[in-house]
Each structure stands twice: as structure tokens, then as C-alpha cells.
Amino acid sequence: MKILKITTITIFLFLLFLAIGSYFYLDKKFTPPPNYLSLSKTNDSIPITWLTNEANQRAALLLPIQIKGVRKQFYMQFDLGSHSTLFYSMAIESINKRNGELIPIDSTNILKTFAFNLGEIMVSADQFRVIDYGEEINWQDTTSLNIIGTIGADLIEHKPIVLDFKNSYCILGKTAADFDPNLDLLDFKFEKRRVLLPAIINGEPTELLFDSGTSGFEFITDKKTWQQMAKPNTTEINYDVNSWGRTLTVHDIGSDNVIFFGKTGIGLNRVSYIESTSFIQNLLMRLSGMGGMIGNELFKEKVLILDCTNEKFVVVD
């Protein structure tokens, strides 16, 4: 009996230390670096360009940017799944090759003291990370979308944003009160530069991670929930997507569920689950209590207003 008691206590202590260790590991892993961005006081309306592919019409949300000294239109993906703004090495090297080392990168792949324009707003930082990703600039084709980096959640830590998906534009610096003073604002969490929106699905409250980088998806969840939310007698569609160089398999199926944000309900057309996501990503979702991830496709007929400073949001028809 004594041996059984000692064994039980030992197992309990092991699990306790494992849980504590996992918490601190995940906390450190998903804590973003400092926000180095500085934005001019200007506010501006910026057009959204949608990158399309065979799977959907909103594969990525692109914002136009300009670099002083380069007569070329560039784009960056607006990806709230990225905690920080960064650039792609192949694109930067291509710009430097043509413009005489205009954008210097140091030996640690850090771009020092650089600025670009997002509409009339100047975005600058003492340092930007550069990753081994992307493509060379197509200098001859005036219609090509030259994507040179990712604009992350550090941008909206500075300014509120209106995302008008219906009309394909966004406004940086405009609050919900500027948009419509009569709107009923809701609270949300902006933790570690992650946008966690409270929602109700099937009468159950939950939190959903809004990741504009998963642009073409309405709702991504785990396989069990995906099965529960599937509409009867609908055909499953499978296809592969690229995520930062990794190939992931997507399973889509029709759904007639409704996601409520406050009083605003948005009907789902399809729900997805993704194979090959990492153990850490799945563990994070379980530990955080998130019910899933939502992308731009969910809001295609809506306006989403986010004020991360005050942690207020609203979805407008």
C-alpha cells in the first residue's frame, strides 16, 4: 500500500512538473520580440489586392508598398499570424542587385534602419528580420505581383484598422467611432500579438484566432469538430497548400453552422481541418482554449474593425 502511495505521488509530481515546464516553454516560444516599428502620424485608406489560386479567390491579402529610390510597385502580405514584419531575402537581393545595395543586410540577416511607405504612412524600424524565402523581382512584367515580405501584427499594435473586405480596402488609424459612432463594440484579447475574438458557435462560447495569413479559409478546426460541423451528404475536398515552405493537406467540407460575434451572425459555407500541423501548434490550441482559426474568407461580405490598443472590435454588415 505504501509503495502504491509513493508511486502515485511520484507520478503526480512528474505530471505537475511536466505541465509547468510545458507552460513556460510555450510561453517563451510564443512571446514575440520587441515591436521595433515606428509609424508616421498619417492615417490613410489603402487598397487590398487579393492573390488568387485554383483553390480560392482570396489566397492572400496583399498591401501595396513603396520603397524610396525604386520605381517599382511592391506588395507585402498582411499576415496577423506573423507577430513581426519581415522581408524575403530573394526579393531584397534582387532589389539590391539592380539598385546598388540600396537595402543593406548584415551577416545575421537583419535589415538595419529601413523605411517604406504604406500609402501615405511611413513605416520604419531600426531592424527588420530577413528570412530565406520568396522570389526574385520580375522587372520586365508590369502586371506581376512582386511580394517582398510580410506585414505582421506589430503594425496594428500601433494603429487601429478598418478591414473592409466587401470593398477591398483597409484604413489604418481610423477607429470604430470614426467609422460609425453608434456601433456596439465588443472586447477581445490581443495577447502576444495574437487577435483572439470571442464568438458563439452552436450556442457555445469560444475564442477564435483571427489569422489574416490563412486568408482563403473561413474556419479551421480540429478533425473531431470538423466532423461534427460537416453538413450531411456533402463531398469532402482535399488539396495541398504551402505554409512557409511546408506542404500541408487541407480537408474542406460544406457546413451550415453560424458563427456569432456579438449580435452579428456569419453563416459558414465550409469548414476545414489541416493535416501535418505541428504538435506544438495543436497543443497551443488545446491549452489556450481556442475553438479554431478564422481567415479573411469568413468576413468577405463584412467590415472588421480592430482596435488593439483598447482591445475592442466590431463586425459590421
pLDDT of residue 6: 53
Which pLDDT score is estimated for 241? 79
pLDDT band for position 163 (50/70/90)? very high
pLDDT at 30: 56
Query: Strand order of the sheet with strand 169-172?
Result: 44-47, 169-172, 161-164, 303-307, 312-316, 186-187
What tens digit of pLDDT does each residue of 259-314 get?
999 999 999 999 998 886 554 454 455 444 468 999 999 999 999 999 999 999 99
Where does residue 262 rank: exposed (0-12), middle (13-18), buried (19+ CB within 10 A)? Answer: middle
What is the predicted pLDDT for the residue at 248? 82
Question: What does the block give as the cell for 191?
Answer: 495577447
- Bridge partners of 252, per DSSP, are 237, 272
In angstroms, the Cα distances linking 161 to 25, 53, 119, 169 are 32, 26, 14, 11
6-49: per-residue pLDDT in tens?
Answer: 544 444 433 334 333 333 334 444 589 999 999 999 999 999 99
Q: Tell me what the pLDDT averaged over the chain comes to.
A: 86
Q: How high is the pLDDT of residue 266?
A: 97
Say how far apart CA 211 and CA 222 lie, in whole Å.
16
What is the percentage of the chain residues whose pLDDT exceeds 70?
85
CA 257 to CA 267: how far, in whole Å? 6
Tell me the three cell numbers of residue 53.
489560386
- Kindly state the cell numbers that stand for 263: 449580435
CA distance 75 to 113: 20
CB 60 within 8 A of CB 184: no
pTM: 0.87
End-to-end Cα distance, the chain: 65
Q: How far is Cα 58 from Cα 296, in angstroms, rounded to an integer?
A: 8
Over range 107-119, report the average pLDDT.
92
Could you tell me the pLDDT band of residue 247, with boundaries at 50, 70 and 90?
confident
